[in-house]
Each structure stands twice: as structure tokens, then as C-alpha cells.
A and B are shown apart, each in its own frame.
Chain A
């Protein structure tokens, strides 16, 4: 829902001249004044050897701070338009019974995205152009919806097919360097899913629906927060839980630090 609303605001800015949210995820302006920009895009441009304008740097700082302190990796599940495509693929996968281990071509690891993220910066530096931006399905899809698709739609279809018949949660959960960036940024954010081990009946519905189900390692074991940065705060586990064993809450750092004790 938020994804559709945000895209509609972007679309309206172009088609009707609204000033709520102009631009695209690369860089935008909120209410015509506040600059926002994507941290990974900005990093790529800096690596390509161009010193960006202050607006963009400031915008990237605002976004980074927001997800770092509040949202975690919420960009992925609440804002990103590709997520709607991959969610559809994941849902179809479940319905078509493709979700078994035997039909999951798990040839890439979840850590691959961090390699790709670093690689994108290196390629940006070598070629002298923001490397992920020349093929990013996220911005291709968003620009497609705001300005018109062209042949860019093939990238979106490719991602859909990859997620449906290839690797389960393949793009968002394994490859996307933007998701990797937000995973790193959002590691210490405040809003988190909290698990209540006492209420849990161990049905594991949450693990089936979770796009990053490695983060739910505590289910039916411990009553703690989901603290892994790879959790997108999508809240699907909360919706699907019939036992009220999962909820959003602000994580308490005092408790966490004693638990971790480094």
C-alpha cells in the first residue's frame, strides 16, 4: 500500500505538477524543499570520481539517518517498487507449490549481495560511471512508472521469472546491492519485530512467509527482538501469526547490550 501511494505521489509530480514528492529514488524533493537521495547511488557516483552537489549529499544523509535510527531495512518492503514484483513471484511460488527445497535453485548465497555491493563500487570507480544505476531494476521500474517504460520492462520481467522459477527470494534476498546497503545501515535501528516465545505454538507460518527467514532463528526458542539487519520490517510474520507471538516494538538497547556483551 505505501509503495503504491509513494509511487503515485512521484507519478503525480510528473504528470500533474504536484510538489509533494518529485524526482525518483536516486534523488527527490519532499514538499518541494527537502532533498532526499539514495545512499548507494551517491556512493557509486562518489566512487566514479565526481564530487556531487551539497543537496544530494545532504539528502543521502537524511535518508541514511532515518533508516539507521528508525526504520531499519524498511525501504525494501515499504518503498521499493521491485519488492511488489518479487512479492508477487514469492506468493505465486507458494501457490504453485514451487516453494519446496527441490525446486529451489539455490546456487547463490544470501551473502552474495554484499559482494555485489562492493563490486558495484569498484566497477563504478574503474568505468567512471555509477555502475548499478545502468541496470538497476529498481530505478528502471520506478522511472518506468513515472516517465514510461520502454524496453526497461524486460528487466522487471526477468526479475519476476528469476524469483518465480529460479531462486526463492532470489533478487531481494540474495543479489540486490541496495538491499545490502540498507541491511548494513539499518542494523541498529529502533523499530523491530519482537518474538514472544511463551505464546508461540511453533506452526512456522512466519518462516514460510518471511522473505529473509534466516532472521527468524529465535522462533519458538527465545523471547527476543529480531535484530538482524537483513530483516526488512515488512511485518508479514506479524500478520500471519495466529498466536500473537510477534509484534513491532522499540528495541531496548540496555537489555541488548548485556545480552550481546560483545
Chain B
């Protein structure tokens, strides 16, 4: 009897350990896979999408935005037949988190509908209406920031001196998001460069410029904003800008303590530096 209960206890311990460790293995594999799956790809999201990290949490993968885009009234050819919509649902093999909406500007760019059919249908608020609304609370697609267009100068034929303003003409915010900058062409001495310049405070990232670009592989293309922008850092202050200059007053003093800071800078310099061996 005593031996039997001992065996039972041993069996119970063994099965518990098995279950727990199997669960742990599963959990580790599963976490690894999920983490890989959400590794931020270079993908353009619908208007009003939260930051990529938040969006991947919030999107419930229902496809209502994709359906709204596909079935919008404006999405028709002249003969009334349906065109493919902008938004697509990520499938297995799309290198994108499966089931989330995205678009590829070179296939079908965002046509920036005034009524933004894709955003209000979102049930989970992964597409944020407030971010594409103006002060009066009306929908305003110009507030969308799906990405930011970038020009690759070396392959843009306008930078060679050829006349092309396809992207400039295609831009729905003509002269605001893309303007043309005139420069003298020193090579010929008598022609002008008409150079496209993207203004990041206006560009919505719709991709119409990328779609319109005439080069074999577009010389202007849209990237998610976090991939197409840099950051100077808060320690740079524009001294000529009164508002920015105020930040200097708010700055706190930082004391660095190390071997050198024991002496005043003048001592340090006069002594010819410290011998660090």
C-alpha cells in the first residue's frame, strides 16, 4: 500500500513535469514565431493606422477596411466594371503579418477618397478616425500619414536634366507635397533642371507619385515614415528660432564624472593631458 501510493506520487510528479515542460517548449517556440511574424516589414498601412507596433496589436484582422476599399463607389472603370481595390489582406508568404491590411503603391496606390471609406468601418480602432479628422471633426484625408515619398536622385531622370514632372503632376497635393525646384543645368549652360522635392509635412504617402514614375523601377517611392525619416536628437537647438532657443533655458546641467573631470579643463590642457599608458 505504501509502495503503491509512492508510485502514484511519482507518476503524478512525472506527468505534471511533462505537461509543464511541454507547455514551456510550446510557449518558447510560439513566442519566437510570433515575434518574427511581427518584425516590422516595409509595408504601407491604410490611412489613420496607429504606429506599426500598436497597429499589429490592435488589428483584429477582420478585413472590413479591405472590403470597404474594394467596394467603394469610386472604384469603377468608365464602363462600370470593378477595379482592384488599394488595400489587400496579407496572405501567407506576403512577408507581412498575416491577415493585416496593406497596400503596394506600384500596384494600386491610395486614391485618397474624401469620405475615407476604410477608416470608420474599423471596429477595433486600429485605424484611428481622429488622426484623419480636422478640427471640426470632419474626415480629412490630407491628414493621413501612410508613409513618406523619397526621391532617389541618381535614377530620377529630372536630375539628369531630362524634362519629367510625372510625380509632380500625379500628386493629389500638387505644389504642396511635391514642388519643382528650378536649377541651372551647368552641363549644357542653357537648360534648367526641374527637380521634384517632397515636403514631409504635407506628403500623405498615398503613392500616386510612385505609381506615376516613369523609370523602370520607380525613382520616387513611399516608405513607412519611421523608415524614411531621420532624427537630429534633442541636444541640437536651432539658435535662430526663438521658440526652439527657449529649450536651452529649460535644459538641466549635466556633470560628467571620470578620471579627467577631477581637474579643470585648463589644468588638463596645460598639463598636456593625462597619461593613460
Within 8 A of B (CB), among A119-153: 119-120, 122-123, 126-131, 133-135, 139-140, 143-144, 146-153
Residues of B within 8 A of A130 (CB): 57, 60
Which listed segment binds A: B41-49, B92-100, B139-147, B174-182?
A: B92-100
Is A27 an interface residue when CB atoms closer than 8 A count as contact?
yes
Which residue of A17, A28, A151 contacts B92 across the interface (Cβ within 8 Å)? A151
Interface contact A127-B35, CB-CB below 8 Å: yes
- Minimum CB–CB distance from B175 to chain A (whole Å) comes to 36
Interface contact B57-A128, CB-CB below 8 Å: yes
Residues of B within 8 A of A120 (CB): 30
* CA A192 to CA B37, docked complex, whole Å: 40
Within 8 A of A (CB), among B59-97: 60-64, 66-67, 70-71, 88-89, 91-94, 97
Which listed segment binds A: B122-130, B189-197, B208-216, B238-246?
A: B122-130
- Minimum CB–CB distance from A143 to chain B (whole Å) comes to 6
Are A29 and B26 also in contact (CB < 8 A) when A127-B38, A131-B34, A150-B92 are? no
Interface contact A26-B37, CB-CB below 8 Å: no
Residues of A within 8 A of B26 (CB): 116, 119
Is A55 an interface residue when CB atoms closer than 8 A count as contact?
yes
Residues of B within 8 A of A154 (CB): 92
Is B229 an interface residue when CB atoms closer than 8 A count as contact?
no
Is B135 an interface residue when CB atoms closer than 8 A count as contact?
no
Interface string of B4-44 (1 = CB under 8 A from A): 00000000000000010001001100110111011000000
Interface contact A53-B123, CB-CB below 8 Å: yes
Interface contact B123-A129, CB-CB below 8 Å: no
Interface contact B30-A133, CB-CB below 8 Å: no
Residues of B within 8 A of A150 (CB): 91-94
Residues of A within 8 A of B151 (CB): none
Within 8 A of A (CB), among B91-137: 91-94, 97-99, 121-125
Which residue of A24, A53, A116, A140 contacts B122 across the interface (Cβ within 8 Å)? A53
Is A56 an interface residue when CB atoms closer than 8 A count as contact?
yes
Residues of B within 8 A of A49 (CB): 57
The interface centre, meaning the residue of A119, A127, A128, A153 with most chain B CB atoms within 10 A of its CB, is A127
Q: How many Cβ-Cβ contacts under 8 Å join chain A to chain B? A: 146
Interface string of A40-57 (1 = CB under 8 A from B): 011001001110110110
Residues of A within 8 A of B92 (CB): 140, 149-155
Interface contact A119-B27, CB-CB below 8 Å: yes
Interface string of A144-169 (1 = CB under 8 A from B): 10111111111100000000000000
Interface contact A37-B123, CB-CB below 8 Å: yes
Interface contact B124-A123, CB-CB below 8 Å: no
Is A91 an interface residue when CB atoms closer than 8 A count as contact?
no
- Minimum CB–CB distance from B233 to chain A (whole Å) comes to 27
Nearest residue, chain B, Cβ from A58: B123
Which residue of B27, B91, B124 contacts A53 across the interface (Cβ within 8 Å)? B124
Is A201 an interface residue when CB atoms closer than 8 A count as contact?
no
Is B164 an interface residue when CB atoms closer than 8 A count as contact?
no
Interface contact A29-B64, CB-CB below 8 Å: yes
Interface contact B62-A26, CB-CB below 8 Å: yes
Interface contact B27-A122, CB-CB below 8 Å: yes
Is B53 an interface residue when CB atoms closer than 8 A count as contact?
yes
Is B200 an interface residue when CB atoms closer than 8 A count as contact?
no
Interface string of A1-38 (1 = CB under 8 A from B): 00000000000011001000011101111000001010
Which 7 pairs between the two chains have the least Cβ-Cβ distance? A150-B91, A151-B93, A152-B92, A151-B92, A53-B125, A17-B71, A27-B62
Give 19 pairs: A residue, B residue, CB < 8 Å, sorted on A: A14-B70, A14-B71, A23-B62, A23-B63, A23-B64, A24-B61, A50-B58, A52-B60, A120-B30, A122-B27, A123-B30, A126-B31, A127-B31, A128-B53, A129-B38, A140-B98, A143-B61, A149-B92, A155-B92
Interface set of B (CB-CB < 8 Å, partner A): 19, 23, 26-27, 30-31, 33-35, 37-38, 53-54, 56-58, 60-64, 66-67, 70-71, 88-89, 91-94, 97-99, 121-125
